Structure 1
Amino acid sequence: MGNVNNLKQFSYKEIEPLTDQINGPILVRENDTKEFFVKKCYPLYLQDNLMTLQKIKHSNLPSIQEVVIEDGQLYLYEEFIHGKTLTEIIKTSETLETKMILKRTLDLLEALIALHNEGLVHRDVKPGNIMLTNDGVLKLIDFDAVRVFEEEKETDTVQLGTIGFASPEQFGFAQTDARSDLYSVGVVINVCSIKEYPKKQLSFDPFLHDLIVKATKLDPKNRYQSAMEMQAAVKEKWNQLNAAQQQTVEPVGISKKAIDDSEQQHVKTPIRSFLGNYVPGFRTGQPWKMTLAIIYYVFVLIGLPGTIYEGRTMSEKLLVALDGSILFILPVLLFTNFLNFHEKIPLLNAKKNVLRGIGYSLLVLSWLIYYGLFLFVTNGGVRK
């Protein structure tokens, strides 16, 4: 099993595609052992890299069954992982505890150490390529962008990576190396902490902040120079967190969920949880957004009831209430992704900015048409 074979050493039965993509991963079952594997198509130029990957046996990386060439295509057969991606976990979680983030970062760095020791750079470390198995084991997956560092090159031959998580050098500024993966790890930590990219907002968690800042320095020389160096820094934060938790005496019978920030640790109350989950402006926890939200809500709560009160009849009061709701409240719900409904609309959930722009334009148009119809039906309503 040491070389790429033109004929498979094992025979498989294809079960079903795992995505809608052309040449996307396919779930297969090995005919003799009945084990499930994932069949993935890769560019032929990745042949040597995938063969190197096959030699690596590590609990935080998927095991590779074989690498073969079929009909001029390169295919990799790897273990089928039962679990969820980190993206799914982040989306369905209100917050991720600091201790959990540090633990998973250590697991992720273990996977990268194994890759880097063989000269491989992953180049696409992101939550979507990190899985947690049903047994709680972290796996770094998907090697479409994997490459080998070559000292004589100034830039990568093929520039790949995911915007937001990819390091600056992945866009042609320099050749990628192990430090490029560590940049992505820093971004992943920040997203796990506050669901934002570091360049937009940095986590103020005292046990994560410094790790993120150093890992995401623009100049690779100022980052951690190896996954082992970053691992040592994460272990230090892990020990500090454990020591801090041991000094905290919790009341018997009360479950305390600590949420760290730069100034204090506080328990998430039902009111705070309601604001963070459902009230636009409070869900991100960003001070400037919350300030604007408070000003806006005060304006609406003071202005709208006063206007309604001026109505002479009950029907006029009702029309004023509907008019104000459509004009001031409905846009907030539509454009702040209330209850994450944007995730269910293809254009608003598109990865390309152009498509998302079209989606929001249609959303604005729909709101204007709806408001126009309301005014037309009510013969101008209260604005007549």
Structure 2
Amino acid sequence: MGDINNLGVFSYKEIEPLTDQLNGPILVRKNDTKEFFVKKCYPLYLKENLITLQKITHLNLPKIQEIVIEEGQLYLYEEFIHGKTLAEIIKSSDVMGTKAILTLTLEVLEALTALHSKGLVHRDVKPGNIMLTNDGVLKLIDFDAIRVVDDEKETDTVQLGTVGFASPEQFGFAQTDARSDLYALGVVINICSIKEYPKDQLSSDPFLHDIIVKATNLDPKNRYQSAVEMKADIIESEKRFKNTAKNAKVNIELARPKIEDEISLDSRQQNAKLSIGSFFRKYMPGFRTGQPWKMTLAIIYYVFVAIGLPGNIYEGETVIEKLLLTLEGSILFILPVLLFMNFMNFHEKIPLLNSKKNVMRGIGYSLLIVSWLGYYGLFLFVTHGGAKR
């Protein structure tokens, strides 16, 4: 471990690309052990940083199996993680409870402590680079922007990071260090809490607000100076949260469940108090994103269906005719909304539709259209002898 292996390329069989990106990650299988890994392409200038990373063994970081030089390109073979990114969880969750946010923040800080102890700065901490495995373990992934702190430099040689999460110094104002990662983590906490960037709206959660404010201060001197310091505040906030919950006679399990279970628990507690508005955002196609233009189109569509469908049914003279017209209207106007608007997130459970590849998803949607039209054609054939109404 810790060395460049020029022969590693012959030890793996490529299975499939995991994204549509050029030089994106590829799923591979090791020929001798049959284990699955992810092959990622990195710039050659990151070689020393990745060698340092490879030497770190930590639960909250992916295991680096090998680093390989192949035809002038540097490839890293790392642990294949089964799970979801935090970005996916935030997108599919109505709310994320305080307890779950504090728990996942502690685990990100554990990963950052391990990196920072070796002088490494991640520089791209964001929900898309935080994964929750199927076993409930958090992993901080993707090291395209990783660098080693150099006290002799005033700014980073290469400015990298994601807009919205990157600290001011990542845009050339100063050199990044551990405090830059803590800035990004503060942004992540705010997004987990209210799905907004701190610059747009700060979370009012009493157990998170002050932590976010300190972590995202524009001046690094006024932020947390280390992951250990921030961790101490998170632990203290977690204690206050538990005491408040006890005083309110809320049943909090003493044994820590998996992070996704905690998110589910917090969501169920919140869902017991759902308002009509939040019900629409959770279940009604067109309202779940909260985007005004989508909600406007949804309202127009629902009004159209509410007026047009009963009028069409009224044309039936007998009970059977009315039932058939109801079924036909449902197939034409209601079924496609349920199918194509991902009602109850069922697309995640359907092959092709849950693929990360645009081509595969396109095939999935095409088959969905064919199935819908075929079902409607079969209905017409059965009810009208194949003749058009």
Confirm or deny a common fold (TM above 0.5). Answer: yes
Structure 1 match to 2:181: 181
- 1:25 is aligned to 25
Shift in CA distance, 10/138, structure 1 to aligned 2, threshold 3 Å: farther
* Aligned position for 1:86: 86
Does 2:279 align with 1:274?
Answer: yes
Indicate conservation of the 8 Å contact 2:178/2:226, yes or no: yes
Residue-by-residue CA offset, 1:167-217 (whole Å, 9 max, x unaligned):
010000100000000000000000001111000011101111111000000
TM-score by length of 1: 0.69
- Which ranges in structure 2 are unaligned for 5 or more consecutive residues? 252-263, 300-340, 348-389
Distance 1:175 1:274, change over 3 A: same
Alignment length (residue pairs): 291
Report the Cα distance in structure 2 between the residues aligned to 1:256 and 1:5, rounded to whole angstroms.
46
Q: Corresponding residue for 1:308?
A: none
- Deviation, 1:10, is 6.8
State the partner residue of 1:204. Answer: 204
Q: CA deviation at 1:273?
A: 2.3
In structure 2, the CA distance between the partners of 1:240 and 1:279, relative to structure 1 (3 Å rule), is farther
Structure 2 match to 1:6: 6
- What SS does structure 1 have at the residue aligned with 2:156? coil
Contact 1:257-1:268 at 8 Å conserved across structures: no
2-structure distance, mates of 1:130, 1:256: 20
TM-score of the superposed pair, with normalisation by structure 2: 0.68
The answer to whether the 8 A contact 2:99-2:266 is kept is: no
Q: Deviations over 1:1-30 (max 9, x none)?
A: 332122228701100000111111000000
Residue 237 (structure 1) aligns with: 237
Residue 144 of structure 2 corresponds to 144
Partners of 1:158 and 1:231 lie apart in 2 by 29
After superposition, where does 1:153-192 map in structure 2 within 5 Å?
153-192=153-192
Written as runs of structure 1 = structure 2, the 5 A alignment for 1:66-81 is 66-81=66-81
Which letter does structure 1 place at the counterpart of 2:157?
Answer: T
Aligned match of 1:361: none
Aligned equivalents of 2:268, 2:240: Cα separation in 1: 15
Distance 1:7 1:266 in 2: 54
Contact 2:43/2:74 (8 A) holds in 1: yes
SS at match of 1:51: helix
Greater Cα offset, 84-93 or 269-278: 269-278
CA contact (8 A) 2:96 2:266 kept: no
The answer (yes or no) to whether the contact 1:10–1:30 under 8 Å persists in 2 is no
Matched, 1:60 2:65: no
Identical-residue share of aligned pairs (%): 70
RMSD, aligned CA: 3.2
The Cα offsets for residues 55-112 of structure 1, whole Å up to 9 and x where unpaired, read as 0000000000011101111010000000000010000000111100000000000000
Query: In the alignment, which residue of structure 2 is the partner of 1:378?
Result: none
CA displacement 1:115-137 (0-9 Å, x = unmatched): 00000000000000000000000
Partner Cα distance (2:247, 2:128) in 1: 36
> How much does 1:275 deviate?
4.7
> 1:156 Cα shift?
0.4
